Amino acid sequence: MARRTWLAAALLMAAGVAASAQARRVISIIPATTEMLFAMGAGDRLVAVGSYDKFPSEVDRLPRVGALLDPDVERILRLKPDLVILYGTQDELRAQLDRANVPYYSYTHRGLADITQTMRALGERVGIAREANALAARVEADLGAIRARVAGSARPKTLLVFGREPGTLRNVDASGGQGFLHDMLETAGGADVLADIHQQSVTMSTELILARAPEVIIELRYGRSDAEDPRDARAWDALPSVPAVRNKRVYILHGEEFVVPGPRVAGATERLARVLHPELRW
Amino acid sequence: MPAHVDAALPPPTIRPRLAATIAGFGVLAAACCLLAPLVGSTSISLGRAFDRTIPFADNVDAQVFFVARLPRVVAAALVGSSMALAGAVFQALLRNPLASPDTLGVSAGATLGAMIVIAFHVDASVFGISAVPVAAFAGSAGALAIVYAMSVARRHGTSTTVLLLAGVALSALLGAAVRFIQILADFTDTFRSVRWMMGALDVGSYNQVVASLVPLAVAFTAIFSMTRVLDLISLGSDAAASRGVDVRRAERIGLVGASLATGAAVSLGGPIPFVGIIVPHIVRLVVGADHRLVLPGSALFGASFLILCDLVTRTAFGPVEPPVGTVTAMIGGPFFLWLLFRRAL
């Protein structure tokens, strides 16, 4: 009798695992994982997304349930998800989902290699491991191809800027020696001038910019209304001794894909490589 | 009777002390202004920096000195001086040792102005000055207008109690509005606004420094025209009135002058905390309570204090710099607690 009870319990647990492994009602509040699910062909399993999700356009028809700072727990629970993808730092949301017995997948922004690792783990969790593996392999192959293409070229000392006060060089935020932006820059054949600073972002003083003397400056624009203002790039002219300024190698690239570590990361890396290595035929 | 009837030339007894105050704090400020640009996170050759035979575009040392360091030191001097002077005026007018540019909601108004511009991507810039400082200045002026209108609305003359309470309430209200916009804004915009709120003096060019000179000149002129009046008002408005001071007019000049100085300072360096509170207190410890000494002492020592705090941020943690506001708070917070303890307030 006892054996039978244990067997029944084991079968029920196995069924539970199988149910969670085949998530059908997924909520992703993270743009990167939302993009991953669509790219794996599991977009139809999403029942809601986060406030900052913009790609692909199909997300526009899905309800929004907040984001990192303001997850709408009530709406999340009302949608009866069988998997919620949340940020690793959302302890409160995790505790609430635990109490409501809703499974979740905890995500953290890290390096470039972690993106495809996340794809595989997420695919496994949602129950589409084969599609996830194929997507991850494709992204890895594309990144590998870029790496191979720039391998023979000199690596220019590059500053990758992702924010500053418009029209001035105040509060210049740049990629430090950690994180996917740094990895993308290195993969694209640039030598990060802040590689020795083990932070994802560094707010640079004017003196630090002058001291690091980058040969190329790439500014990323990805905001809601980051309109191109030709006068804005001229702010760098205040530092004419910086080689990138002197040699007119300050580039402004627009696109959300630069800040969403998802399936478009290889395309974004190639855009970096194209401006870093115009000598190569792309 | 004019408000500044007693503010003519200082009587003979104050002159030696005024000279000593200006000389003492002046030498310190001059030393800070001259020596601070020589030190930084990188080492430069002064000879090369001033070598005119090397074209400026190729002279890294000259650019470090003239583009990275000098405008920053000048900005620190102006911001520190203005905030300290404004703090001294607010403390005298409100007869409250805790009064500072933060008390009347002026800093909160500036922060809201900056936040709106950052969150709604008002990317316009004029003569190398972005919309952020302009909006910060407008926000500080708007906050003062609201608080002042409330304080004079219900009675003849300004109510310092209403000013203080309205300032505290408005600060809380504007602070809530800032947080609300932060929640709605893009994540990176929120990060930018938080960074701005911690203060930064790396202005990167002289445009913004020059733009702040006009409001600061007006504010300093207004404030220094009322040194004697502030002494009388700090004893109480009735006592001041009995000595022939037009208290309402004096309060208006003082509030507008101090707020103008705060608005210009915050738009230049962000709402750097504690400078406006602790600098006048330190100066009073040295020279006493006479505003003919406190005001010039605060203006000069405020400049030195912020230049030194910024020097710490530039050199002590390299290559990464903490915001200067964290250094002023780390020095100012414990000092203020010590002051409270010492006076057993």
DSSP letter string, B195-229: HHHT------SSHHHHHHHHHHHHHHHHHHTTHHH
The pair of three-digit structure tokens given for residue B49, joined into one six-digit string: 């920096």
Is 0.90 surpassed by the pTM of this model?
A: no
Look at residues A236, A230, A200 and name the one whose alpha carbon lies nearest to residue A218: A236
Q: What is the dihedral of CA B56, B62, B64, B68, to 10 degrees?
A: -70
Sheet holding A104-107, edge to edge: A46-49, A26-28, A83-87, A104-107
pLDDT at B157: 57
Average per-residue pLDDT for chain B? 86
Look at residues A127, A128, A121 and name the one whose alpha carbon lies nearest to residue A106: A121
Tens digit of pLDDT for each residue in A23-48? Answer: 999 999 999 999 999 999 999 999 99
pLDDT at B1: 39
pLDDT at A117: 95
Q: Which of residues 189-218 of B touch A (CB under 8 A)?
A: 189, 191-192, 195-196, 200, 202-205, 208
pLDDT over 90, % of chain A: 78
The pair of three-digit structure tokens given for residue B167, joined into one six-digit string: 């300032």
In this prediction, residue B186 has a pLDDT band, given cuts at 50, 70 and 90, of confident
pLDDT at B144: 84
Which of the pair, A215 or A3, is modelled with greater confidence?
A: A215
Regarding the domain with residue range B3-344, which homologous superfamily does it belong to in the CATH classification? ABC transporter involved in vitamin B12 uptake, BtuC (1.10.3470.10)
Question: Is the minimum CB–CB distance between A89 and chain B shorter than 8 Å?
Answer: no
Q: What is the ipTM of this complex?
A: 0.81
Look at residues A71, A67, A272, A92 and name the one whose alpha carbon lies nearest to residue A186: A272
pLDDT at B207: 84
Whether the link from the prior residue into B296 is cis, omega within 30° of 0, is no
Which of the pair, A41 or A5, is modelled with greater confidence?
A: A41
Q: Out of B215-229, B241-255, B286-300, which region has the weakest mean confidence (pLDDT)?
A: B241-255
Question: Is the minimum CB–CB distance between B127 and chain A shorter than 8 Å?
Answer: no
Please tell me whether residue A140 adopts helix, strand or coil conformation.
helix
Look at residues A164, A201, A163 and name the one whose alpha carbon lies nearest to residue A180: A201
pLDDT reading at B156 higher than 90? no
A47 Cα distance to chain centroid = 21
For chain B, the structural domain boundaries read: 3-344
Radius of gyration of chain A (CA): 22
Residue in chain A closest to B54 (alpha carbons) equals: A241
pLDDT reading at B195 higher than 90? no
Residues of chain B in contact with residue A165, where contact means CB-CB under 8 angstroms, are: 130, 132, 192
Question: Is the minimum CB–CB distance between A170 and chain B shorter than 8 Å?
Answer: yes
Tens digit of pLDDT for each residue in B71-122? Answer: 999 999 999 999 999 999 999 888 888 788 777 888 899 889 988 988 887 7
Residues 6 or more apart in contact with residue B203 via CB below 8 angstroms: A168, A170, B71, B72, B75, B209, B268, B269
The 8-class DSSP code of residue A205 comes to P
pLDDT at B145: 87
Average per-residue pLDDT for chain A? 89
pLDDT reading at A19 higher than 50? no
Residues of chain A in contact with residue B121, where contact means CB-CB under 8 angstroms, are: 223-226
Region A196-221: what's the mean pLDDT? 94
pLDDT reading at B227 higher than 70? yes
Triad B98, B100, B103: Cα angle to 5°: 85
Alpha-carbon distance B201 to B192, whole Å? Answer: 15
Residue of A70, A246, A259 with shortest CB distance to B57: A246
**Is A153-276 in the same CATH topology as A2-108?**
yes
pLDDT reading at A114 higher than 60? yes
Residue of B64, B123, B208 with shortest CB distance to A207: B64
CATH architecture, domain defined by A153-276: 3-Layer(aba) Sandwich (3.40)
Which of the pair, A119 or B159, is modelled with greater confidence?
A: A119
Alpha-carbon distance A135 to A223, whole Å? Answer: 27
CATH number of A2-108: 3.40.50.1980
DSSP result, A250-263? EEEEE-GGGT--ST
Phi-psi region of B67 (alpha: psi -120 to 50; beta: other; left: phi over 0): alpha
In this prediction, residue A50 has a pLDDT band, given cuts at 50, 70 and 90, of very high
Tens digit of pLDDT for each residue in B41-54? Answer: 899 999 999 999 99
In this prediction, residue B345 has a pLDDT band, given cuts at 50, 70 and 90, of very low
Residues of chain B in contact with residue A238, where contact means CB-CB under 8 angstroms, are: 67, 204-205
Q: Out of A15-24, A209-218, B58-67, B332-341, which region has the weakest mean confidence (pLDDT)?
A: A15-24
Look at residues B332, B103, B74, B310 and name the one whose alpha carbon lies nearest to residue B199: B310
CB atoms within 10 A of CB B27: 12
Question: Is the minimum CB–CB distance between A199 and chain B shorter than 8 Å?
Answer: yes
Kindly state the helix (H) or strand (E) to which residue A84 belongs, with its residue range: strand A83-87
Question: Is the minimum CB–CB distance between A248 and chain B shorter than 8 Å?
Answer: no
Question: Is the minimum CB–CB distance between B314 and chain A shorter than 8 Å?
Answer: yes
For chain A, the structural domain boundaries read: 2-108, 153-276
Please tell me whether residue A247 adopts helix, strand or coil conformation.
coil
In this prediction, residue B178 has a pLDDT band, given cuts at 50, 70 and 90, of very high
pLDDT at A13: 44
Residue of A67, A210, A231 with shortest CB distance to B60: A210
DSSP result, B49-80? HT-TTS-GGG-HHHHIIIIIIHHHHHHHHHHH
In this prediction, residue A12 has a pLDDT band, given cuts at 50, 70 and 90, of very low
